[in-house]
């Protein structure tokens, strides 16, 4: 983790790529979707077969912070032909890429949350938890604590959001494993406390798959 962050800082990167970001937050205790980085069409097809269909493909570069708007994200690909076509389309955009992420498909139950971090000039790193996906900005159902956090802090954050009932049993799906969620929230706090080079963290969406909170997208922004 330290090597990823420090190498990016030395290169003058403003952010880590999604692939790097996921590796960093995973070491902090966040469960992430399975990700492999392909550098050729054949490699992408082989990785998809190994992962199992369906998969998602995403262009990977530290400069790509708005992949969807640029047509760099292809979802729920179900055949080798679809993967090959998606790979060619992503790599034909004229953007310099580290490769193409082949990501396992996480089939959630429409419960999406967010874990984030911003670095306040006065209070330092502040961790956020709340309702995620397309509702993050619209409903602003989030809670904050200053890092580092205790288990009590993390549980209070979870209980403070208005939609916390979604973490219980939901439409036949089991309740969220709060221990894993608490570990993820605390881990992001510890990560941001340890590495002053990190300016922001955005894990959104955090999809609930069965009882597990799984990060399918992550972005680590570095200090300028």
Tens digit of pLDDT for each residue in 110-157? Answer: 899 999 999 999 999 999 999 998 778 778 899 999 999 999 999 999
Q: Are 44 and 86 in the same domain?
A: yes
CATH code of 149's domain: 3.30.470.20
Report the chain's mean pLDDT, rounded to a whole number: 95
Q: Are 17 and 74 in the same domain?
A: no
Number of domains in the chain: 2
Picking from 58, 80, 104, the residue at the C-terminal end of a domain is: 104
Q: Are 87 and 121 in the same domain?
A: no
Handedness of CA 16, 17, 23, 26 (dihedral sign): positive
Q: Are 50 and 161 in the same domain?
A: no
Whole-number pLDDT of residue 37? 98
For the stretch 75-108, pLDDT in tens is 999 999 999 999 999 999 989 999 999 999 998 8
Q: Are 78 and 155 in the same domain?
A: no
Domain span including residue 54: 35-104
Q: Are 70 and 128 in the same domain?
A: no
Q: Are 65 and 115 in the same domain?
A: no
> What are residue 92's phi and psi, to 5 degrees?
-95, 5
Q: Are 87 and 118 in the same domain?
A: no
Residue range 46-56: mean pLDDT, rounded: 97
Whole-number pLDDT of residue 72? 93
Q: Are 15 and 44 in the same domain?
A: no
Picking from 104, 121, 136, the residue at the C-terminal end of a domain is: 104
Q: Are 120 and 205 in the same domain?
A: yes
| Distance, CA of 31 to chain centre | 9
| Predicted structure pTM score | 0.94
Structure tokens at 17: 């790529």
Handedness of CA 77, 79, 82, 87 (dihedral sign): positive
pLDDT confidence tier of residue 216, bands split at 50, 70 and 90: very high
pLDDT confidence tier of residue 109, bands split at 50, 70 and 90: confident
Q: Are 73 and 159 in the same domain?
A: no
């Amino acid at each position: 983790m330290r090597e990823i962050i420090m190498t990016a800082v030395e290169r003058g990167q403003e952010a880590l790529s999604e692939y790097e970001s996921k590796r960093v937050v995973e070491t902090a205790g966040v469960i992430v979707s399975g990700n492999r980085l392909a550098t050729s069409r054949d490699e992408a097809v082989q990785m998809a077969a190994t992962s199992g269909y369906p998969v998602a493909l995403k262009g990977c570069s530290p400069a790509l912070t708005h992949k969807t708007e640029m047509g760099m994200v292809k979802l729920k690909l179900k055949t080798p032909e679809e993967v090959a076509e998606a790979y060619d389309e992503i790599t034909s955009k004229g953007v310099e890429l580290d490769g193409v992420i082949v990501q396992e498909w996480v089939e959630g139950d429409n419960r999406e949350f967010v874990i984030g971090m911003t670095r306040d000039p006065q209070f330092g790193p502040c961790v956020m938890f709340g309702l995620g996906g397309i509702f993050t900005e619209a409903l602003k159902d989030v809670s904050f604590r200053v890092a580092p956090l205790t288990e009590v802090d993390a549980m209070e954050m979870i209980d403070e959001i208005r939609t916390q009932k979604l973490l219980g049993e939901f439409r036949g799906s089991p309740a969220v494993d709060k221990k894993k969620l608490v570990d993820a929230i605390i881990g992001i706090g510890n990560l941001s406390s340890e590495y002053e080079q990190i300016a922001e963290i955005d894990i959104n969406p955090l999809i609930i798959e069965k009882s597990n909170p799984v990060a399918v997208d992550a972005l680590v922004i570095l200090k300028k």
